[in-house]
Structure 1
Amino acid sequence: MSRHAILTHDEHAQLRVRTEAGAALGDAVMAAFTVPLEFRRIQHDFPIVFRRDNQTGRFSALALLGFESGENLFLEGDRWEADYKPLSLAIQPFLVGRADDDQAPSQIHIDLDHPRIATNGEGILLFDAAGRPTPYVERIGDMLAELDEGHRTSESFFAALERYELLEPFFLDVELRNGSKHRMVGYHMINEDKLRALEPGAVAELHTEGHLMPIFMALASLSNLSVLIERKNRRNGDG
């Protein structure tokens, strides 16, 4: 369940949020939503894959964190073992809110039922003594704005990938040193052969529209699949 509210000083002056890593705080996920504007940072640590929504037919991008539901191989107790945390996880328990007027500025909403809401005096205050948002909330606002912009602009990115038929389904068989096997299905990746075969005009168009860099970042990120498998081996005690 979730209980969303507009973040205000009047209602949330004493509210605190827990910012440490932890499975019970919402970090135990095998994949995190990401957007093309974030790919440069994501690709350093995580494989980037794509998934089509069976109902809408629309694609979204995911940073892979594990191979099984609820498995985050970058989470070790209360430690986040990566240089970067995807925006979609880093912003929790906040989200972008929309006013009835689409032209009005977006608002910061908070999920009051999220496990990161502190209940015993721990965590970070959201407002200072003068009623101003704390630096933490200001950082959250910046991240929400970036994620929102990335989501809005991703539509043209995926339209370009489909226009040139650059996305293809793939499956990955993961065999671990203890003999266990996992098969990843239901994802798409960029077809590098089709990308190489594009005519110069198409490549120039992708570059002009700002799509070429995130395409390259997504391809480069796949080298992290072997790193993720090694993390899985170590988690199983075989590293």
Structure 2
Amino acid sequence: MGETVTATSHAMLTAEAHRELRVRRDRDPALGDGVMSCVTMPAEFRRVQAHYPILFRRNAERDGFTALALFGFQEGENLFLEAGAWDADYVPLAIDIQPFLIGGGEGARQVHVDLASPRIGPDGERVFDDAGRATPYLEAIAGQLGELDEGWRASGDFFAALRRYELLEPLTLEITLDDGSVNRLVGFHVIDEARLSALDGAALGALHAEGHLMPIFMAVASIGNFNALVARKNRRLGDG
């Protein structure tokens, strides 16, 4: 998305090396939360669409698409950050798991940690207890990492289905705010509702059987969150 790239120092997480590791769980741009969007997986679309517009963007290689949960209208803007907290009931997995990530290639999957993350420090929640056992926090993170990894692996079939039925169309959105300024979103795609509505029963049945129809409808429903996102932007402007 063009946000500032920070240095990373990834290491496999172990109790021996990281017994005293603590992770800050408050929310702040300085902790890496000042982002306009993050990657999301079809498997979490139902939870994401409750709060955020779901858009699609071509990947860097331009040979496929990535799904994104939208938090703002310009680079570095997250309109859900409020006084050290995230103002929504659900934080997308790609944000919530930081500073942890999956490592290990195609073999055994392992929990890694980015030791250069600003979330690492003397204050925060412990990852291991005094006996070297995983804390409930780390156990929850491991579950989220597994869900994110599984969702990523399954997403290829979803995007192949969108290509097969030509269900993505470009989005150009121009939003005039209360102060008269204009925000434009370009370079994104959304589900083409007209093409979706025109699919015959066989195509819809195939999408349903493959598990793709529900996330497609969730992505369509998520577009209704644009009005709430604009309202957040106007409140932010009004607050100065």
Q: Same fold by TM-score, threshold 0.5 exceeded?
A: yes
Give the superposed CA RMSD. Answer: 1.2
Task: Give the distance between the partners of 2:78 and 2:53, measured in 1 at CA.
Answer: 13
What is the aligned partner in structure 2 of residue 205 from structure 1? Answer: 206
TM-score (norm 2): 0.95
What is the aligned partner in structure 2 of residue 135 from structure 1? Answer: 136
Q: CA deviation at 1:55?
A: 1.8
Q: CA deviation at 1:53?
A: 1.6
The change in CA–CA distance for 1:25 and 1:200 in structure 2 (over 3 A counts) is same
What is the aligned partner in structure 1 of residue 56 from structure 2? Answer: 50
Q: Percent identity, aligned pairs only?
A: 55
The change in CA–CA distance for 1:215 and 1:9 in structure 2 (over 3 A counts) is same
Task: Give the distance between the partners of 2:144 and 2:155, measured in 1 at CA.
Answer: 16
Q: CA deviation at 1:199?
A: 1.0
What is the aligned partner in structure 1 of residue 193 from structure 2? Answer: 192
Structure 1 unaligned runs (5+)?
none
What is the aligned partner in structure 2 of residue 78 from structure 1? Answer: 84
What SS does the corresponding residue of 2:79 show, helix, strand or coil? coil
What is the aligned partner in structure 1 of residue 3 from structure 2? Answer: none
Task: Give the distance between the partners of 1:5 and 1:30, measured in 2 at CA.
Answer: 27
Task: Give the distance between the partners of 1:74 and 1:199, measured in 2 at CA.
Answer: 39
What is the aligned partner in structure 2 of residue 112 from structure 1? Answer: 115
Which residue identity does 1:139 align to in structure 2?
Answer: A
The change in CA–CA distance for 1:108 and 1:195 in structure 2 (over 3 A counts) is same
Structure 2 unaligned runs (5+)?
1-6
Q: CA deviation at 1:77?
A: 2.7
Is the CA contact (8 Å cut-off) linking 1:33 and 1:62 kept in structure 2? Answer: yes
What is the aligned partner in structure 2 of residue 222 from structure 1? Answer: 223
Task: Give the distance between the partners of 2:165 and 2:239, measured in 1 at CA.
Answer: 42
Deviations, residues 170-190 of structure 1 (Å, cap 9, x unaligned):
110010010000110000000
Task: Give the distance between the partners of 2:183 and 2:110, measured in 1 at CA.
Answer: 41
What is the aligned partner in structure 2 of residue 183 from structure 1? Answer: 184
Is the CA contact (8 Å cut-off) linking 1:23 and 1:77 kept in structure 2? Answer: no
Q: CA deviation at 1:56?
A: 4.0
Is the CA contact (8 Å cut-off) linking 1:15 and 1:125 kept in structure 2? Answer: yes
What SS does the corresponding residue of 2:190 show, helix, strand or coil? strand
Residues 20-39 of structure 1 aligned to structure 2 (within 5 Å): 20-39=26-45
Which residue identity does 1:85 align to in structure 2?
Answer: V
What SS does the corresponding residue of 2:172 show, helix, strand or coil? strand
What SS does the corresponding residue of 2:233 show, helix, strand or coil? helix
Deviations, residues 162-220 of structure 1 (Å, cap 9, x unaligned):
00000011110010010000110000000001001001000000000000000000000
Deviations, residues 134-162 of structure 1 (Å, cap 9, x unaligned):
10000000000000011000000000000
What SS does the corresponding residue of 2:184 show, helix, strand or coil? strand
Count the aligned residue pairs.
234
What is the aligned partner in structure 1 of residue 95 from structure 2? Answer: 89
Structure 1 residues 199-208 or 54-63, which shifts more?
54-63
After the TM superposition, list the runs of 4 or more consecutive aligned residues in structure 1 that deviate by more than 2 angstroms: none
Is the CA contact (8 Å cut-off) linking 1:178 and 1:238 kept in structure 2? Answer: no
Q: CA deviation at 1:9?
A: 0.5
The change in CA–CA distance for 1:182 and 1:165 in structure 2 (over 3 A counts) is same
